[in-house]
Amino acid sequence: MKTQQISQPVWFAQNRTTRYKFSTLDRQHPLVQALRAQMKGTGYYVKLQGRGPRGEAKANGYRWTADQSLPLRFAKHFDVYVYKR
């Protein structure tokens, strides 16, 4: 059986909602893709929440929205959540 090398680290944070699964540095991480495939057709979906500094987003025209939800293109890492549709 072959094992797959995972290039980017994944970590798990404490004291989060039960919907939180893990955090990663890569939006296309193999674990994110596998979780999306697993949730397909189950009535659940995978959501990424961008995390990181807000300065670049605000400099590009995102004002108060960047304080509430950092756009994924400006994020340095991503929290992965699973929600029911």
Count of domains for the chain: 1
pLDDT digits (tens, 9 = 90+) for 75-85: 999 999 999 99
Name every residue whose Cβ is closer than 8 Å to that of residue 3 and which is 6 or more positions away in sequence.
none
**Which residues span the domain enclosing 26?**
10-84
Q: Is residue 67 part of a domain?
A: yes
Q: What is the DSSP letter of 2?
A: -
Residue 5 belongs to a domain: no
pTM exceeding the 0.85 threshold for the entire prediction:
no
For the chain, give the mean pLDDT: 84
Tens digits of per-residue pLDDT, 53-77? Answer: 888 878 888 776 666 788 898 899 9
Which residues face 23 on adjacent strands? 11, 79
Q: Is the residue at 3 inside a domain?
A: no
**Cβ pair 82, 46 in contact under 8 A:** yes
32 in any annotated domain: yes
Q: Please report whether residue 1 resides in a domain.
A: no
- Indicate whether 75 belongs to any domain: yes
Angle at 70 between CA 36 and CA 10, to 5 degrees: 45
